[in-house]
Amino acid sequence: MIRKLIKPALGGVALLAGSVAAWAQEVAPPVVEAIEEAAPVLPESGDTTWMMVSSLLVLMMLIPGLALFYGGMVRSKNVLSILMQCTMIGAVVMLVWAFWGYSFAFGDAENAIFGGFGKAFLSGVTADSMAATFTDHVIPEYVFIAFQMTFAAITAALIVGGFAERIKFFPLMVFIVLWVTAVYFPIAHMVWDSDGLMYGWGTYDFAGGTVVHINAGITGFVGAVFLGKRLGFGKDNMAPHNVPYVLIGAALLWVGWFGFNAGSNLEANGFVGLPFINTFLATAAAAVAWAIVEGLAKGKASVVGAASGIVAGLVAVTPAAGFVGPMGAIVLGAIASVACYFFCASVKKTFGYDDSLDVFGLHAVGGIIGAIGTGILASPSLGGYPLDGYVMGTQIWIQIKAVALTIAWSGIGSLILYAIVNVIFGLRASPEQEREGLDYGSHGEVAYHS
């Protein structure tokens, strides 16, 4: 999604029809009636169907995919809190997206950072409104809105992995509304709208390396540091309470990610096969690489490690899916997986921060490697598929700038928002609730009964 995604798709057709009509009025009056009665441009049924399916696949990534992946990794007393957080973040963000998010990200304002208020509350959007794809096709704008809505929802939910098991529910929801408004929507506009700042630089981000993964990973990391460590961190047993949930969640994420990556092609055409196969291969390479490295380091390869490798590969290939070739995707997935393992297993321990579910180690690190690696592996000499005018050195620099701006915008913006919400509501659960578990403390129920 790096070309203009929303535009008056019928405008060019109307202009052409008007010109032809004027000519016909002069030289062939009988033609005028035929032009005036010509059928409007209609969406491609195949593209529309594919985008609806892709939207559902991304929804599945959130519920139940991410919810189970995160839910399995926390302790049993907090599993319901994670499921509830993922569910309600998704629901809240969907509403915010319809109210003002879509307009802020893909509105008509010619602004480098902000899409404007022109489409707030979906103003002007009807069942006849069309969104342009990458070629001369169109899809219903409502379908495009729904597709992008699922991206916003899962990105916001990813954040909770950084500070799981220690945040209050209602203040988290307030933070999420503020965060998507001030952080996510502007970054989405900057990267994916043709008026956007990073779009203007020529940033390559096919499906969200900067917009989704670096953005969420940095925000989760800032939240983890801001809230502080969980009670008993480094002393109590905080191992995943349900490893099968973790693998099931990772598997659902992998399947749903085809909607994420291949869906970002916006068309069911021949080119969609590239992000489709890359999503298979990069992820497979990452899972294998993680198992090898973990086996060498610890003597055994774990199921949680394999699941983490799957996520690392998916994250890394997201910005690259439509730009690198299959062999490049394998290389990128393997490299990212090793780097993510190093951060999750060593760097976190060395610096002592409590990134509960490794949102920084997997999403921020994997997203950074994927974004910068895209600039390298998009080279035709390496089997890539760059846009016209590609020069490797130039593109790498563009990618680095985009990564740096995303880190700064997300990091500074989220820190300010954490501070505001904390002053007003207080973010951290009480020690009593944290010891008892957020399932009962926040929601009055428990997952398992003896």
User: What does the pLDDT look like over 226-272, one tens digit per residue?
Assistant: 999 999 998 999 999 999 999 999 999 999 999 999 999 999 999 99
Name the 3-class secondary structure at 36.
helix
Please give the share of the chain, as a percent, with pLDDT higher than 90. 87
Asked whether residue 338 is assigned to any structural domain, the reply reads yes
pLDDT of residue 133: 87
pLDDT of residue 39: 52
Asked whether residue 7 is assigned to any structural domain, the reply reads no
Q: Could you give the angle at which helices 392-424 and 169-179 cross, rounded to 10 degrees?
A: 140
Task: Report the number of distinct structural domains present in the chain.
Answer: 1
Asked whether residue 436 is assigned to any structural domain, the reply reads yes
Mean pLDDT for the chain?
92
pLDDT of residue 241: 96
Asked whether residue 15 is assigned to any structural domain, the reply reads no
**Residue 175: pLDDT above 80?**
yes
CB 156 within 8 A of CB 176: yes
Average pLDDT in the 399-422 region? 98
Half-sphere exposure of 269 (CA within 13 A, CB side): 13
- Which residue would you say has higher pLDDT here, 112 or 38? 112
How far, CA to CA in Å, does 121 sit from each of 97, 186, 188, 236, 402? Answer: 9, 17, 18, 48, 30
From 12-26, 62-76, 339-353, 402-416, the region with the lowest mean pLDDT = 12-26
Q: Dig out the tokens for 425 from the structure.
A: 């509501």
Please give the share of the chain, as a percent, with pLDDT higher than 70. 91
From 52-61, 131-140, 422-431, 434-443, the region with the lowest mean pLDDT = 131-140
pLDDT of residue 436: 95
CATH number at residue 207: 1.10.3430.10
Asked whether residue 19 is assigned to any structural domain, the reply reads no
pTM: 0.90
Find residue 158's DSSP bridge partners: none
Range of the domain at 343: 45-443
pLDDT of residue 40: 62
**Residue 98: pLDDT above 70?**
yes
Euclidean distance between CA atoms 369 and 411, whole angstroms: 18
Asked whether residue 1 is assigned to any structural domain, the reply reads no
Q: Dig out the tokens for 94 from the structure.
A: 């969907």
Asked whether residue 411 is assigned to any structural domain, the reply reads yes
Asked whether residue 14 is assigned to any structural domain, the reply reads no
CB atoms within 10 A of CB 17: 15
**Residue 37: pLDDT above 50?**
no
